[in-house]
Structure 1
Amino acid sequence: MIETYSSLAAVDPWNQGAPRMLGPEIYGASAHKPFLYAIPTVGERPLSFRAEGLPPGLHLNPQTGHITGRATAEGEWRIRFEASNSHGRAERELEIRIGQGLALTPPLGWNSWNAWRRWVNADHVRQAAEALVSQGLAARGYTYVNVDSCWQGARGGPRNALQPNRKFPDMKGLAAGIHARGLKFGLYSTPWTKPWGCSDAEALAEWGGPPLMGSTSGERDEDPAYQSMRNSLVFGFVPHDRFVGKIKHEAEDVAVWTAWGMDFLKYDWLGTDPVSTERMGRLLRQASRDVIFGICTDARLKHAETYVRWCHMFRGIQDTADDWPWLVRNHFNADEVTNEDWRPYIGPGHWYDLDILALGPQFQDQTSTRPNKLTESEQIAHMTLWAIYPSPLILSCDLTKLSDFELRLFANEEVLAINQDRLGRPAWRLSDLGEAPRDGRAPRRLRAYARELAQGRLALGLFNLGESEDTAELDFRLLKLAGTVRVRDAWARRDAGRCEGRLAARVAAHGARLFVLTPENGGASIP
């Protein structure tokens, strides 16, 4: 029996001791476009970096560990990095693939929505970038700093592109400051004429207007491709004032936003139709810089081939919230709600997005955030599902006010390594380990997910959706495992012993356990 651990493993100080190099083992970018990759490394500063075998056109800054330049050829390179300081040195290999796609592992970063809603401004975004570095999250691979809705102002400039409102007086300068930290910059838009975010009255009160605008305008485009999307599987009927307009501005918007330095675009609309998806995806593919393209909130499995071709992230469920019953209905039970199996379409370069994380301090009003409403066990279950799925891990909270628990939750290197595993295999829901109600008692609500990892290992997530602590038992035959299996507790960052034939572990109510299984007689596979 593997007992319940009462707390998460402590986080090693990111700027103390000998260097350790972290992050994914594989990274993708395009040829002839600006390249930026900051080698995730913990250890006392200053650090000194060396690299052998970089693609032609790329250069390493030995003081910052930032790789920049423009790759001049497509191909695959195995790079050996070294980081050293007064306490020692560390080595690590990274495979850089040029011209073979982006987002070869799920993107990690931050988004403004759950932290600041319509009140987001340039200072909030700048502070989030600073906090990713100062909290040691950037040193563990968190990269993207994304502005959600309510940055938009009026159309203007030489290209008549969507400009920022007065809360963002220098978008290009903001992006440049984020890039200087080795981080990347993201924006939000929609193919609708009017995005989600706030009402016209709120826009007037908050930044003096104009109302929010999308990347189309004019009257409703009556093309049948859009009209078939008037009903949403997730939300029901699409509001009458949300539609794709006849006048398309995507080309002008992409040209200007990438000139500012945009590296990520969240494109949000109900219907999430393949025509709008391809139109924007094609423009981003042709843009002057690499841009991660994520779409939501009504992606449907019947359009999966289009999404995989043109997007890096796609979502077909409602937004997250720090509410346990909502997480169970919207995320743990999403397969039943939508009756869709996305696993064949999950892998390097294309990820099913469970949405931004509803963890950490959440928005309260214009000037403050509030503590998270989820219990610690519920937050562990939330992060565990996203990590093993694997979903992009996009934090959305006030990073300047993280508790010790929240830092342990976000910065666990073994949990992040599971999410970032180079194989990019999806998790499989193995079974519900519960039982039907008997004698008036509530049913047990235990669930198991497993995912193949590199080097013949498996990640195993055990979830207890019930109201009391329980024991989850798993027969290793479900995983085609035979013989002795070494068990590593990822959240506790400690070895949990050896098991043969089965694993039994205590799981807190509304909680989760996350293990890495290593067969001693060779690799394993999920049926």
Structure 2
Amino acid sequence: MNKNFLISSPPMGWNSYDYYDTTVNEDNIKANADYMAANLKEYGWEYIVVDIEWYSYDAGTQRDKHQYIPFWRVEMDEYSRLLPCPERFPSSANGQGFKPLADYVHSLGLKFGIHIMRGIPRIAAHNHTKILGTDKTANEIASPYSICSWNPDMYGVIPEDEGSQEYYNSIMNLYAEWGVDFIKCDDICRMDAASSKKEIEMLHKAIQQCGRPMVLSLSPGPARIEEAWHYEKYADMWRITDDFWDDWRLVLNMFERCELWQNHVDKGGYPDCDMLPVGMLGKGFADEHMTHLTRDEQITMMTLWCVFRSPLMIGGELTLLDEWTEKLLTNSEVLSLLTFSHNARQLVRDSVHCVWYSEHKVGDCKYLTVFNLADEERVIKVSPTIVNKETFVGLKFKELWTKETFTCENEELSVKIPAHGAKLYKY
């Protein structure tokens, strides 16, 4: 299986982290899956992803002190493989794992994903538990010096040691039995640990041998641009930023990151701008709130993500989406850029405005995107020379958010855009 043929467009889905943090449970997952199937699936949304610490007992109960409770009880089998906590995911009891929940998600016509951490559980290394497919035990392949700086659950493995690849093979084989379609591996993308680069290869190899196609997503960022070839060869998507939240300054910074990565967006490999912090966020962080991004800022975010062709993962609680946010997420003409556009590139950017260009894969249609980065409404003029034209006179434009259509009567395109807003034109 060549991973470049696994996905032909950026994945679209929902991830539990932005709303639930570590506290998501089976009922939450089913409720969001039900909502996606009923309201979003027809627009291309299909992945339901259970994020971090689904194996942990009492997750979130010490939030005033710890996001991830150190050295706490986790659910694990005899072969050092983490299992869903049955108190939070009751259908996983009696060795069922995530298969019943994955089956439920699949019954809705959707796909199921999980978050994992790089490496092997520390508790497995401390207890010298077995590894399926080898006589080696967890302590023999775990590196006590390869640890995550922000999560206490795992040790990295020693790639050269016998048993390390067998461990990764064993967890992917288990996930294949469960019916997992999407793996988000954390503490690996920015290669903080010396073994991270090799462990990406090991994950890829483990997926290749398991017999089930799975998208491999790498976190957290920022990814290393000098390692672009490595990400493209061994992963399907990789984060180009650290955790992205509902802060205009982070949206603004993403223009720089997209410019850096614009030449590395291709079939089967997608630089990832991270989740869309829209709707209700933060319940698991003891900070439940409606996104702090204004409506215009959300339009700018969605526009950049779609023009750049980033994967789209909704962070807000789906069952609490308001009508405006649902419309933001279900604009078919905007979302079509993920599948039917290519050759996206930034043409100009300064402190107050930015212009991106892309092309439809079929026919002569082009896209011109104008962003107002300033803190006040502005009229932005775009010269036709920026897209190698002598004039815009007579060209028909359609703005894909408002559906406004017009024929340009001037050589330049003159656009009034609200503060932090965007216009996406097809012409």
Output the CA distance in 2 between the equivalents of 1:172 and 1:514: 42
Instruction: State the aligned residue count.
Output: 376
Structure 1, unpaired ranges of 5+: 1-29, 31-97, 201-215, 231-236, 435-443, 518-527
What is the 5 A alignment of 1:484-503?
484-498=394-408, 501-503=411-413
Which of the pair is proportionally richer in helix? 2
CA drift at 1:292? 0.7
2:242 equivalent among 300, 306, 318: 318
1:183 maps to: 110
Equivalent runs, 1:312-461 vs 2, <5 Å:
312-329=236-253, 331-334=254-257, 341-365=260-284, 369-421=288-340, 423=341, 425-432=342-349, 445-454=352-361, 455-461=363-369
After superposition, the C-alpha distances for 1:299-329 in whole angstroms (9 at most, x for unaligned) are: 2122211211111101131111111123223
Candidates 389, 408, 419, aligned match of 1:481:
389
Identify the range of structure 1 (356-365 vs 492-501) with the bigger mean alpha-carbon deviation: 492-501
Percent identity over the alignment is 25
Distance 1:426 1:266 in 2: 27
Query: How far apart, in 1, do the equivalents of 2:311 and 2:385 lie?
Result: 30
The answer on whether the counterparts of 1:465 and 1:510 sit within 8 Å (CA) in structure 2 is: yes
**8 Å contact from structure 1 (residues 485, 500) kept in 2:** no
- Asked if the contact 1:488/1:496 (under 8 Å) is kept, the reply is yes
Could you tell me how far apart the structure 2 residues matched to 1:147 and 1:459 are?
A: 35
Find the aligned partners of 1:269 and 1:507 in 2 and give their Cα distance: 39
Q: What residue in structure 2 maps to residue 142 of structure 1?
A: 45
CA distance 1:386–1:240, change in 2 (3 Å): closer
| TM norm structure 2 | 0.80
Measure the CA separation in 2 of the matches of 1:445 and 1:217: 54
Would the aligned equivalents of 2:102 and 2:178 in 1 still touch at CA under 8 Å? yes
**Residues 22 and 53, structure 2, Cα contact 8 Å, conserved in 1:** yes
Structure 1 partner of 2:379: 471
Greater shift, 145-154 or 117-126, is seen at 145-154
Pair 127,193 (structure 1): closer, same or farther in 2 beyond 3 Å: same
Cα distance in 2, alignment partners of residues 266 and 141 from structure 1: 20
- Larger strand proportion of the pair: 1
Would the alpha carbon gap of residues 352 and 500 (structure 1) be closer, same or farther in structure 2, given more than 3 Å must change?
A: farther
Distance 2:231 2:112 in 1: 22
- Tell me which of 276, 285, 293 is aligned to 2:199: 276
Q: In the alignment, what sits opposite 1:24?
A: none
* 1:145-224 correspondence runs (5 A): 145-153=48-56, 154=74, 156-157=76-77, 159-166=79-86, 167-169=88-90, 170=92, 171-193=98-120, 218=139
- Alpha-carbon contact 1:384-1:514 (below 8 Å) kept: yes
Q: Corresponding residue for 2:61?
A: none
Residues 357-398 of structure 1, C-alpha deviations (whole Å, 9 max, x = no match): 111111224899421111111111111111111101111111
3-state DSSP of counterpart to 2:109? coil
Task: Report if the CA contact (8 A) 2:262-2:308 is conserved.
Answer: no
Code of the residue aligned with 2:44 in structure 1: it is G
Structure 1 counterpart of 2:52, one-letter code:
S
Q: Which amino acid aligns with 1:123?
A: D
Normalising by structure 1, we get a TM-score of 0.65
Q: Does 1:251 align with 2:169?
A: yes
Secondary structure of the structure 2 residue equivalent to 1:114: helix
Supply the distance in 2 between the matched residues of 1:375 and 1:123 (Cα, whole angstroms). 30
**SS of equivalent to 1:325:** helix
The Cα of 1:159 is off from its aligned counterpart by: 4.5
Letter in 2 for 1:128: N
Q: Which residue of 1 aligns with 2:128?
A: none
Considering only aligned residues, what root-mean-square deviation do their CA atoms show, in Å?
3.1
Give structure 2 stretches of 5+ with no counterpart: 57-73, 93-97, 124-136
How far apart are residue 471 of structure 1 and its match?
Answer: 1.2
- Matches of 2:121 and 2:82, distance apart in 1: 12
